[in-house]
Structure 1
Amino acid sequence: MEIQLSANICSIIPNFKIGVIHYDQIAVGESPQMVKGRLQLFQESIYFDLLDGKSVTELEGIREWREIFKKAGKDPNRYRHSAEALYRRVQKQNYLQPVHSAIDLNNFFSLEYQVPIGIYDAEKITGDVTIRIGGDNEVYLGLNGRENSVHNLIISADGEGPFGSPFVDSVRTSVTTATTHALQIVYLRPSLETKKANELIESLMKMFIQIHGGIASYKILGC
């Protein structure tokens, strides 16, 4: 499976970059207590930090990805990227509850790095993947339970069409406890230096493998 960035994204966001991780022979299941505990404690820490009056939109990673949505043609006040949505939930003490190990770690890393992260069952992806801007009539059933228009959103698309976005991912390629081969896309902050981006992705990958077993490889794609 090849992953590529489209020319239109690079023309709009010259420093756009993503981390791409391929996992194989993994075992997804209930999160170990260590992951559940860290996720809960981290959410509580974020909640108390935000009690001091700091706005979610003042956080560097959240702010940077709001700007990316604007550049792509989407109002970030109406279409909040997934990391911002998580932070707003935590701010209301609507804490994330454990789902399974892959989603729980995804949420933890998204909160930690203040960026959207998508994880997909690679067996449900058809052909190669292109990261591009969504077209006028493109929609999919999202994990939020709704049909979502992806017009002017950054999307991941395969041979069947769009399946992922830093806004919300699709049901079609969702990871379950039956998943053994996964694709993870980390929507990095464009301002992040390449060296630090590699360190971040490698650290994330190692922790994921520590929990799920299997083998993995990664690369950074940028404009």
Structure 2
Amino acid sequence: MTEPRRHQDFLDAARVDRAVFALRPDYRALLIAVDGLVPGPSDAGSEALLQGAEAAAGAWLAERQVTELPHVVAWREAYQGFGAKPNRTRNSLEALLRRTPAGLPRVNRLTDIYNAVSVLHRIPLGGEDLTRYQGSPALIRATGDEIFDTASNGETVIEHPEPGEVVWSDDAGVTCRRWNWRQGRRTQLTDDTTSALFILDALAPLTDHALIAAADDLCGHLKRLGPDVTIVRRLLTAGTTGASGPTAGDGRS
């Protein structure tokens, strides 16, 4: 089986639970599976992207507080909807925007690219090592029994989400808590990642057009990270058939 076909099967099995769409019917997730990435440190291209993101965020934040930006407001409301306190556990977009005055982190070119795209398009965007997945991704409301592996003071710690918390998971446990707040260690990107999954989380007022534009931008930058990069993606929305309420809709880049 070719990698694009295998990754398409992986994305075809992805799902968003009806309980999540009941919480936010405007929610959409665009999943992108990428293979053939050549790992590498931050480079001139990723540095230019980060600087552009920092400049754009600086212009927005010169006019209003980060908590007044419409896309941040939407995610703070979503967090409150499942009982999270947005002042204590910030969505990934808000967390990145708050870091821009002092400078976004420089990690490696893969991480730098998706952080910059997240800021530039004002959308929460997560990246994970696809080879570490056990089964396909699912966005669910947790029972509280699921396993989430994280770290504290350099030591591995096993946590459990709160009952009703919105989490991304696979067959082995939670991969990201509170929708897009904190990713687990098991599936985190490393300096050796060659196959990755990216998840773009969208709420109104982000439009479908803006969501696709963000995905296209990300894919354009990812294609320069190796001569044999292949990309497959799938959009999940409410209002389509499926046992858990996911949408069909896929495409290759």
TM-score by length of structure 1 reads 0.88
1:141 correspondence with 2:153? no
1:157 correspondence with 2:172? no
Unaligned runs of 5+ in 2: 1-9, 239-253
Cα separation, partners in 2 of 1:149 and 1:80, compared to 1, 3 Å: farther
Task: Provide the C-alpha distance between the structure 1 equivalents of 2:52 and 2:236, rounded to a whole number of angstroms.
Answer: 32
Matched with 1:6 is: 17
Task: Provide the C-alpha distance between the structure 2 equivalents of 1:45 and 1:200, rounded to a whole number of angstroms.
Answer: 15
With 68-77 and 17-26 compared, the bigger mean Cα shift is at: 68-77
The higher radius of gyration belongs to: 2
Name the aligned partner's letter for residue 197 of structure 2: L
Task: Provide the C-alpha distance between the structure 2 equivalents of 1:40 and 1:69, rounded to a whole number of angstroms.
Answer: 29
Task: Provide the C-alpha distance between the structure 2 equivalents of 1:148 and 1:55, rounded to a whole number of angstroms.
Answer: 33
The answer (yes or no) to whether the contact 2:70–2:205 under 8 Å persists in 1 is: no
Q: What is the alpha-carbon root mean square deviation over aligned residues?
A: 2.2
Cα separation, partners in 2 of 1:148 and 1:187, compared to 1, 3 Å: farther
Q: CA deviation at 1:178?
A: 1.6
Cα separation, partners in 2 of 1:171 and 1:36, compared to 1, 3 Å: same
Unaligned runs of 5+ in 1: none
Task: Provide the C-alpha distance between the structure 1 equivalents of 2:130 and 2:145, rounded to a whole number of angstroms.
Answer: 25
1:58 correspondence with 2:96? no
Matched with 2:57 is: 46
Matched with 2:192 is: 178
Cα separation, partners in 2 of 1:200 and 1:110, compared to 1, 3 Å: closer
Matched with 1:217 is: 232
Q: CA deviation at 1:72?
A: 2.2
Task: Provide the C-alpha distance between the structure 2 equivalents of 1:47 and 1:218, rounded to a whole number of angstroms.
Answer: 31
1:73 correspondence with 2:83? yes
The count of residues paired between Structure 1 and Structure 2 equals 220
Percentage identity across aligned positions?
Answer: 23
1:88 correspondence with 2:113? no
Matched with 2:123 is: 115
Name the aligned partner's letter for residue 94 of structure 2: E
Task: Provide the C-alpha distance between the structure 2 equivalents of 1:202 and 1:163, rounded to a whole number of angstroms.
Answer: 24
With 68-77 and 118-127 compared, the bigger mean Cα shift is at: 68-77
Name the aligned partner's letter for residue 186 of structure 1: L
Task: List, as ranges, runs of 4+ consecutive aligned residues in structure 1 with deviation greater than 4 Å.
Answer: 143-149
Q: CA deviation at 1:190?
A: 3.6
Task: Provide the C-alpha distance between the structure 2 equivalents of 1:50 and 1:203, rounded to a whole number of angstroms.
Answer: 23
Q: CA deviation at 1:86?
A: 1.2
The answer (yes or no) to whether the contact 2:17–2:139 under 8 Å persists in 1 is: yes
Task: Provide the C-alpha distance between the structure 2 equivalents of 1:42 and 1:16, rounded to a whole number of angstroms.
Answer: 24
Name the aligned partner's letter for residue 198 of structure 2: Q
Q: Secondary structure at the match of 2:86?
A: coil
Q: CA deviation at 1:99?
A: 0.6
With 150-159 and 65-74 compared, the bigger mean Cα shift is at: 150-159
Cα separation, partners in 2 of 1:143 and 1:105, compared to 1, 3 Å: farther
Cα separation, partners in 2 of 1:51 and 1:197, compared to 1, 3 Å: closer
Task: Provide the C-alpha distance between the structure 2 equivalents of 1:138 and 1:160, rounded to a whole number of angstroms.
Answer: 9
Task: Provide the C-alpha distance between the structure 2 equivalents of 1:154 and 1:206, rounded to a whole number of angstroms.
Answer: 30
2:136 to 125, 128, 137: 128
The answer (yes or no) to whether the contact 1:27–1:177 under 8 Å persists in 2 is: no
With 178-187 and 127-136 compared, the bigger mean Cα shift is at: 127-136
